[in-house]
Amino acid sequence: MQAQVGDRLVAESNRVDSPRREGEIVEVRGEGGGPPYVVRWADGHEGLVYPGDDAHVVHAQD
């Protein structure tokens, strides 16, 4: 997984009754754009994320 600041991280829910989470990547701490990422979620909370198999990056448009 590769990302840049401004890209979006989408974490799909692993439960039927839970929505997926989306947030903006505000910091990339891994080498070459790899995880972990600091993500600002839609609710305003920021956290350090090591994305799992249920997550993907949506690259920002230039």
Q: What is the mean pLDDT of residues 4-10?
A: 96
Q: What is the pLDDT of residue 12?
A: 87
Q: How confident is the model at residue 62 (pLDDT cuts 50, 70, 90)?
A: low
More confident residue, 15 or 7: 7
Kindly report, residue by residue over 16-61, the tens digit of the pLDDT. Answer: 777 888 999 999 999 999 999 999 999 999 999 999 889 999 998 7
| Rounded Cα distance, 49 and 57, in Å | 12
More confident residue, 13 or 50: 50
| Rounded Cα distance, 60 and 43, in Å | 20
In DSSP terms, 28 is beta-bridged to 37
